[in-house]
Structure 1
Amino acid sequence: MEISARNSFKGTVKKVLHGSVNTEIILELAPGIELVSIITKSSAEKLGLSEGKQAYAVIKSSDVIVAID
């Protein structure tokens, strides 16, 4: 797989929460470190996402918000 996005993180699907249109995917990147994504239900089904499956979170920098406390 080759992509133009510079940030990709491999993780394990921890939880899949299906809605009527969208699905929330929780990826565990490392113990205690999780990333949450909302994708279409049809995309989640096409990818066969289920708990325990390995998957990548691909982040395009134009869609990342940075904040400080």
Structure 2
Amino acid sequence: MSISAINVRNQFRGKIKEVIEGPVVSEVDVETPSGLIVTSVVTTRSVKELQLVPGKEVIALVKSTEVSIAAL
């Protein structure tokens, strides 16, 4: 499957660094070429269906109506 067009503007290409599987949901860490880590929480079923394993090249797509920032 390939994506020919998508409306998500925040896209981070990278490789899966780590997958922490839980019984229902899992954490997937994606490392970009610049070293940025993007973490996604997805269903464990999706991890298996998409064959998400360390080293696999993926694109992390981020679409959000709100981004919160806290002052330090």
| Structure 2 length-normalised TM | 0.83
Alpha-carbon separation, structure 2, partners of 1:3 and 1:16: 25
Q: How many residue pairs end up in the alignment?
A: 68
User: Which runs of 5 or more residues in structure 1 are unaligned?
Assistant: none
Which of the pair has more CA radius of gyration?
2
Structure number with higher strand proportion: 1
Structure number with higher helix proportion: 1
Letter matched to residue 15 of structure 2: T
Where in structure 1 do 4 or more consecutive aligned residues deviate above 6 Å? none
| Structure 1 length-normalised TM | 0.86
What's the % identity of the aligned pairs? 32
Matches within 5 A, 1:13-52: 13-52=16-55
